Chain A
Amino acid sequence: MACIERRPRCGAAETPAIPEPITRIGSVIGIIASIAGAAGGIIKGLETAGGIAAGLGGGAGGAISGGLAAIAVIIIIGVYAFDRCVGTKGLRECVAGVVSEIVQDFTEWTEELFPFTAMHDRVDVVVKSRYWDVVEDGEAKVFCTEAEPPRRSEIMRNYFFTKRVCDTMTGAQIGVTVGAVGGIIAAAAIGAAIGCATIILCIFALLLAALVAAVAALVGALIGGQIAKAISDDTSPTSGGQQIAVGDLITIHGNMVKREFDENANVMWWVSGSSLSGTAPTSIANNPFSYCDIDDVFTMDACPRG
């Protein structure tokens, strides 16, 4: 056992992370509200200047309220698709260690109900101490094992591009558009049916119209996403055609970026290549794995030596 003097720098990033996608939804809602506000101002301005009536009919009021909600849902899903399926330029890096956990796509119920939130297959690797500088690069958050020092080790999250996730995104985007159209029609009908006899009824109609349109858009995304998911192939992360399993000694090459989804930790997004070098011997502690053992049993990894 060859544990080292230096302790892993586990814990929070220098810049605290706001959980994904709160900031994105904040900007989407803010912009839509600003555009709606500007449009409202223009309508009122035209009324003042040209004598046209600025009032909205029941159907129009419901349709606009529902339309704004549906547009927000469409853009939020678009933002998700952009985040999940358009690569981010980062640093080309290489790490090696032992596979400690595999998180496949669609493991959570929320990913099934809201398929646009699905995440690519993730392989967590307890890295050799030699790669701690890579994991800690740029004052990033560092995930660690729960073992007591000096056996505590750093973990690198590695995402394998999963085609099924992006196929699902495409399906969800088509579905949300269809659902939004239906939702806006329903919202217009609600606005007209409830009417505006009192202020309370009026605001209730607008709220219900927005709610119905948003739910219809989400149902569309669910149906579209699930159809696309069913058509797409189910894949597990592999290396050279061989399925990766917990306990495998692995070298991973990839594009390293800091991601909000991972609390501003450095992750491989995505893995560009990997190679397996056998399995960790059963004689070493595996719950959790430690660099102390992996440094010894995995001396010749496939990362270039500097």
Chain B
Amino acid sequence: MKLLVKFFTSLNIFTKRLGICGNVGLIAGAIAGTLLMLLYLRQGGSLTMNTTEAVQVALMLTLFTWIFIQFVLVILARLTFRSVAIPSFVNCLLTCFAVVFIVRALGLYIAASFIGIVVGIIIGMLLCRINFIFNKLIKN
């Protein structure tokens, strides 16, 4: 167990570079992608979703990942709900919708976990960047 924990702790070097937004995106994307892959396997390895179903799935994943992110940010990291609720919701919403629609378009449900991680990191870091530029513009 100690070795396993040491291994996970050593991976911090990578996740530390992502910032809070990147990490939130990573978590949301990884969860959404994995559940999408499980849904695919549960459906017997063949899954076809129409647009309405894809939107419904994305919304459910958004809600689930957002609740988990609130647990991490507010309860464990002791950040205030007011400061993180909306930004993390936007992050989860964009990530989950992007993951569902990209995976659906490519038909790569089996690789949804990996796609979720990559998409989540990109969206999270992009949101941080936009926020940084926006704040700079306001200050100027």
Contacts and interface: CB of A to CB of B under 8 A. Distances in A.
Contacts of A79: 5, 8-9
A202 B43 contact: yes
B30 A30 contact: yes
A61 interface: yes
B48 to A, nearest CB: 9
B62 to A, nearest CB: 11
B93 interface: no
A78 B111 contact: no
Contacts of B6: 82
A37 B111 contact: yes
Contact of B8 (A24, A65, A204): A24
Contacts of A26: 15, 18, 22-23, 26-27
B37 A82 contact: no
Contacts of A199: 39, 43, 47, 49, 53, 56-57
B37 A25 contact: no
B41 A56 contact: yes
A27 B26 CA distance: 9
Contacts of B79: 19
A61 B77 contact: no
Interface string B4-37: 1110110110111011101110110011011101
A272 to B, nearest CB: 23
14 contacts: A20-B77, A22-B20, A24-B15, A27-B11, A27-B14, A61-B38, A64-B38, A82-B9, A86-B2, A202-B39, A203-B57, A206-B35, A206-B42, A207-B64
Interface of B: 1-2, 4-6, 8-9, 11-12, 14-16, 18-20, 22-24, 26-27, 30-31, 33-35, 37-45, 47, 49, 53, 56-57, 60-61, 64, 72-73, 75-79, 110-114, 116-117
Given A21-B72, A61-B38, A68-B34, 5 more contacts: A22-B23, A26-B23, A28-B8, A29-B26, A53-B45
